[in-house]
């Protein structure tokens, strides 16, 4: 067996130790005589997996008592519609910050439910910056302020938590959750899909402050009503049990690495050396302003576009896969989430140098 270095933006690479453990426990989970996939979600074995999942996420992110943790379905994309429907209450406006493709989608999907005010946008700079936080126009009558902490496609990341001027701060953390410490108490709601930094596809984590519950529109299906799911431990219906289990294994792995502080140190080291290699070359270029460069997703172009196909083919032959950029932006993208080992980044850098030397 040879495993590649998988630079996919999501679903993405998982820690090998997690896959090994899942393999070992596949047919007989800890003496139960069955696979996690075959367990009743109401049975005591799965209930223990679910309880530990929440406990571990609370510990890793230091989630305060007055926040509920939900494990939902539908992906982060479903939340684009269900956040306004859950949080607006009797308000009619919500503020949004537009920094790339994902925040644009969040805005588009919120529009049927509210007046989506664009507090700031980096569109004019082709989404290569984070608009200066002091210039954001925040409407005090809005129900919340929404932003995307890491734009997975444009490779732009916030390096601080913005001040929402008293509004509940809502954040799509799908592609950088658990990659650095954050203070959950600064947020009203955090949401993230599982398939980038937390496991296999299939679970959407929603961390929501108690006082924001109970305002959901009656038109929302109960499985997407945060209050209903909070009352039912996210088990109003059958959850994606195996994805919950895998997320649990990933959280244990993060813990064993030293938690989010250790992850951050590694992510700084991995991304810094890749950006350094790009900046030092004449063939590769990343156009994101330096302070807003993502530690998770590193897009780059080849200044000689004609070499793109050859670059990708040669990279694959070297065991470096999924480097093709998003269809919207073109070029290349290396996604280097928590689970990408430093030696994967080293291998990519060596390959890029050698490719440049020979071309």
Ligand X SMILES: *Cc1c(COP(=O)(O)O)cnc(C)c1O
Number of helices and strands in the chain (H, E) = 9, 14
Strand 320-321 with 297-302, pairing: unpaired
Residue choice 85, 122, 148, 179 for contact with ligand X (CB under 6 A):
148
Indicate the helix (H) or strand (E) that contains 70: strand 67-72
Q: How far is CA 120 from CA 77, 133, 307, in A?
A: 21, 8, 37
Question: Smallest distance from the beta carbon of 193 to ligand X, in angstroms?
Answer: 4
Nearer to ligand X, 225 or 294 (CB): 294
CA gap 11, 243 in Å, rounded: 12
CA gap 199, 266 in Å, rounded: 18
Per-residue x/- track, 81-110, ligand X (CB under 6 A): ---------------------x--------
Residue whose Cβ sits closest to ligand X: 75
Nearer to ligand X, 54 or 172 (CB): 172
Burial degree of 19 (CB within 10 A; 0-12, 13-18, 19+):
middle
Give the chain's radius of gyration (CA, Å): 21
Is 253 a catalytic site residue? Answer: no
Question: Smallest distance from the beta carbon of 77 to ligand X, in angstroms?
Answer: 3
Question: Which span sits near ligand X by CB under 6 A: 163-171, 172-180, 223-231, 246-254?
Answer: 172-180
CA gap 252, 18 in Å, rounded: 9
Is 172 a catalytic site residue? Answer: yes
Q: Which of 56, 104, 109, 172 is catalytic?
A: 172
Site membership for ligand X, residue 325 (CB under 6 A): no
Is 244 a catalytic site residue? Answer: no
- DSSP-derived letter for residue 301 is E
Residue choice 86, 99, 119, 152 for contact with ligand X (CB under 6 A):
152
Between residue 112 and residue 131, which ones bind ligand X under the rule CB under 6 A?
A: none
CA gap 237, 314 in Å, rounded: 47
Q: Considering CB under 6 A, how many residues would be counted as binding ligand X?
A: 12
Site membership for ligand X, residue 175 (CB under 6 A): yes
Q: Which of 29, 56, 98, 102 is catalytic?
A: 102
Residue 207's DSSP bridge partners are: 69, 190
Nearer to ligand X, 77 or 257 (CB): 77
Nearer to ligand X, 102 or 351 (CB): 102
Site membership for ligand X, residue 155 (CB under 6 A): no
Contact 91, 217 (CB under 8 A): no
Nearer to ligand X, 195 or 283 (CB): 195
Site membership for ligand X, residue 193 (CB under 6 A): yes
* Helix, strand, coil tally for the chain in percent (to 5): 40, 15, 45
Question: Which span sits near ligand X by CB under 6 A: 45-53, 112-120, 171-179, 351-359?
Answer: 171-179
Question: Smallest distance from the beta carbon of 126 to ligand X, in angstroms?
Answer: 18
What is the secondary structure of 105-118 as a DSSP string? HHHHHHTTTSEEEE
Between residue 52 and residue 81, which ones bind ligand X under the rule CB under 6 A?
A: 75-77
Site membership for ligand X, residue 191 (CB under 6 A): no
Question: Smallest distance from the beta carbon of 111 to ligand X, in angstroms?
Answer: 17
Q: Which of 98, 104, 196, 324 is catalytic?
A: 196
Question: Smallest distance from the beta carbon of 326 to ligand X, in angstroms?
Answer: 10
Residue 267: closest CA among 150, 189, 127: 150
Residue 203: closest CA among 159, 234, 176: 234
Residues near ligand X, by CB under 6 A: 10, 75-77, 102, 148, 152, 172, 174-175, 193, 196
User: Which residues carry out catalysis?
Assistant: 102, 172, 196
């Amino acid at each position: 067996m040879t495993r590649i270095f998988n630079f996919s933006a999501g679903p993405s690479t998982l820690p090998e130790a997690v896959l090994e453990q899942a393999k070992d426990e596949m047919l007989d989970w800890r003496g139960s005589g069955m696979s996690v996939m075959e367990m009743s979600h109401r049975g005591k074995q799965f209930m223990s997996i679910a309880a530990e999942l929440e406990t571990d996420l609370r510990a890793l992110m230091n989630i305060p008592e007055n926040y509920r943790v939900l494990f939902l379905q539908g992906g982060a994309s479903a939340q684009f519609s269900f956040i306004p429907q859950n949080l607006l209450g009797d308000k009619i406006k919500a503020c949004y910050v537009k920094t790339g493709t994902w925040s644009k989608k969040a805005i588009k999907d919120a529009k049927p439910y509210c007046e989506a005010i664009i507090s700031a946008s980096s569109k004019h700079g082709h989404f290569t910056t984070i608009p200066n936080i002091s210039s954001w126009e925040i409407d005090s009558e809005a129900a919340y302020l929404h932003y995307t902490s890491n734009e997975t496609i444009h490779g732009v990341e916030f390096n601080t938590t913005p001040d929402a001027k008293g509004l509940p701060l809502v954040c799509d953390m799908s592609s950088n959750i658990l990659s650095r410490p954050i203070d959950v108490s600064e947020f009203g709601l955090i949401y993230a899909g599982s398939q980038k930094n937390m496991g296999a596809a299939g679970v959407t984590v929603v961390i929501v402050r108690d006082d924001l519950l109970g305002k959901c529109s009656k038109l929302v299906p109960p499985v997407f009503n945060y209050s209903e799911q909070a009352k039912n431990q996210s088990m109003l219906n059958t959850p994606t049990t195996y994805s919950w289990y895998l997320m649990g294994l990933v959280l244990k792995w993060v813990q064993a690495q030293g938690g989010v502080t250790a992850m951050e140190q590694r992510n700084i080291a991995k991304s810094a050396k890749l950006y350094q290699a790009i900046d030092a070359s004449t063939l590769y270029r990343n156009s994101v302003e330096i302070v807003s460069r993502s530690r998770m997703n590193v897009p780059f172009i080849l200044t000689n576009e004609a070499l793109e196909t050859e670059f990708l083919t040669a990279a694959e032959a070297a065991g470096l896969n999924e480097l093709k950029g998003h269809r919207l932006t073109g070029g290349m993208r290396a996604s280097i989430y928590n689970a990408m080992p430093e030696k994967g980044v080293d291998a990519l850098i060596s390959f890029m140098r050698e490719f440049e030397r020979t071309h």
